[in-house]
Amino acid sequence: MRARRAGRGETTAGGGEVRREWSLRLNLTQHGETYQVCDALEMFWAARALH
C-alpha cells in the first residue's frame, strides 16, 4: 500500500513536514489524479532517507 510505505519517512524527517506531504499525497490519490505525482514524492522521500 502506497500510504503505508510513505509513513516510513516520518522517522527520518521532521514529523509535521512529512505529514503535510503525506496528506497532500492522499488528497491526490483520493481525487484519482496523477499517480505520477505520488511516485515522484515517493522517490523524493526515498532519496532523502538515504542521506
Q: Which residues contact 34 (CB under 8 A, 6 or more apart)?
A: 28
Could you report the per-residue pLDDT of 1-51, keeping only the tens digit for each?
444 454 555 455 555 566 667 676 666 655 555 566 667 778 888 888 876
pTM of the model: 0.28
Which DSSP letter does residue 48 get? H
CA neighbor of 41 nearest in space, from 30, 51, 24: 24
Give me the DSSP letters along 3-46.
HHHHHGGGGTS-HHHHHHHHHHHHHHHHTT--HHHHHHHHHHHH
Q: Which three cell numbers stand for residue 27?
A: 488528497
pLDDT of residue 1: 46
